[in-house]
Chains A and B, each alone.
Chain A
Amino acid sequence: MRYFLITLLLITAAVVSVAGVRGALSRKPPLEVFPDMKRQPKLRPQKPSAFFADQRDSRLPVAGTVPVDALLSDSPAATGFVPGTTNYAAISPYPMTAEWLERGHQRFTIYCSPCHSAAGDGNGIITKYGLLKAGNFHDPRILKMPDGQLFNTITLGKNQMPSYAAQIPIPDRWAIIAYVRALERTRLGDLNDVPVENRAALR
């Protein structure tokens, strides 16, 4: 009995010392004992696949593919231009509502504020790490830009700014522009924007 207990203890100690404890860091992938159902020869996004010559299972669009967005292709909503011209659309084709502005605020915070800052003055956090100063939305140059030109910049990029077309779908670009316009107004207000009864509190 004693030998049996000692053997049992040794086996336990061996298992624990080899297998370790739960949650310990491991560089090796988890062991899967019966992987045949867990790992099926089907396509999952962004996984390698032996089926295709280039090993990608997320297929790249065939050359010449027209994206669905382009079905709107002539409308100002899709191009930022007045149809049939090279003039920028003066204002966004989307109606301005509170929800729209809120959507624009959210998307602006995600995609624009790292460089342009939450205030839109072009001093976002990335500029402290070596990025050139981004555009200042309160600059008269940008204040005067038609909405369509801002759309064009988001879509294609400009100078140091890369295209955000892949990250921001078309309607969101217009929502962001709506929010940028609201942001600009925060520094354009004057006393006439304040209701008369509240003016005394400003002094």
Chain B
Amino acid sequence: MANLYPRWFNRLPLMAGAGLLLSGALVTAGAWYYLTPKYSRVGYQPVQPVPYSHKTHVDQLGLDCRYCHSAVDKSWYANIPSPSVCMNCHSQVLASDARLAPIRDSFKSGEPVPWVQIHRTPDFVYFNHAVHVNRGVSCVSCHGQINEMVEVRHEKPLTMAFCLDCHRNPAPNLRPPEEVYNLRWTNDPAKQLAMGKKFAHDWKIMSSQNCYTCHR
């Protein structure tokens, strides 16, 4: 009787197992790499109605973040300035520049400038800007080096793990309050840890990990 199954059939279970394992590993690796805001959100840099450069305004002119985002230390929400704030200077500086036309139109008509939101947490996340900046967490901790960005891009993943990493160990991100808006400020990592621990103790920072801290 002729062989119904060829000889390589003996290795079929082994090959199937190895193939499944390999495919599984690749799918897992792909999901781990791609199915996270580290991939989906980081690098998002939408085209804005006005090519506003934080580098020019912060690095070159030395404006404080709060000149425009004036509610960041009072409110849970860091406000996008109204066009009247732009016009404080731009009624005279670059007063007829074509790039600023949407600002002037909005200033005259009262219609909002259609800025595109970049850092957008889910609607069930309640991040409070004021409590963070008033306790020594700088803008750069979550937004990256905004002062070096000609166009703003999503720099940090802002995943739940990102929040929890800091809530479990806030010391690396705590600065002296007067340096919170100094986006160029750096500290010796060894000193930073001791300093951060001291701040966390002195200011009674209890960075809660309770669900209700951020979700409600």
Known pairs A12-B26, A45-B77; A22 contacts B46 (CB<8 A):
no
Q: Give chain A residues whose Cβ lies under 8 Å from the Cβ of B77.
A: 45-46
Residues of chain B lying within 8 A (CB to CB) of residue A23: 38-39, 42-43
Q: Are A37 and B93 in contact (CB under 8 A)?
A: no
Q: Is A26 a contact partner of B45 (Cβ separation < 8 A)?
A: yes
> Which of A126-134, A141-149, A187-195 interfaces with chain B?
A126-134
Complex interface bits, B26-51 against A, C-beta within 8 A gives 1, otherwise 0: 10001001100111111111110000
Assess the A46–B70 pair: CB atoms within 8 A. no
Which listed residue (A46, A56, A110) contacts B80, Cβ 8 A?
A: A46
Residue pair B67, A111 in contact (C-beta under 8 Å): yes
Q: How far is the CA of A59 from the CA of B69 in the complex (A)?
A: 19
- The answer to whether B93 and A130 touch across the interface, beta carbons within 8 angstroms, is yes
Contact of B61 among A30, A111, A125, A132 (CB under 8 A): A125
Task: Tell me, yes or no, whether A114 is within 8 Å of chain B by CB.
Answer: yes
Give the secondary structure class of B's interface.
loop
The residue from B37, B45, B91 contacting A162, defined by CB atoms under 8 A apart: B91
Is B94 in contact with A130, judged by CB distance below 8 angstroms?
yes
B-chain residues with CB within 8 Å of residue A47 when the two chains form the complex: 117
Partner of A31, one of B38, B40, B84: B40
Q: Are B46 and A27 in contact (CB under 8 A)?
A: yes
Does residue B179 face the partner (Cβ distance < 8 Å to A)?
Answer: no
- Write the nearest CB–CB distance from B102 to chain A, whole angstroms: 16
**Total B residues in contact with A, Cβ cutoff 8 Å:** 47
Seed contacts A22-B39, A29-B44, A160-B92; 20 additional CB < 8 Å A-B pairs: A8-B23, A8-B26, A12-B30, A15-B30, A24-B43, A25-B45, A26-B43, A27-B45, A37-B122, A38-B123, A38-B124, A46-B80, A114-B61, A114-B62, A126-B89, A130-B92, A130-B93, A132-B92, A160-B91, A167-B85
Q: B residues near A, CB below 8 A?
A: 15, 19, 22-23, 26, 30, 33-34, 37-47, 61-64, 66-67, 70, 77, 79-80, 82, 84-85, 87-89, 91-94, 112, 116-117, 122-124, 153-154
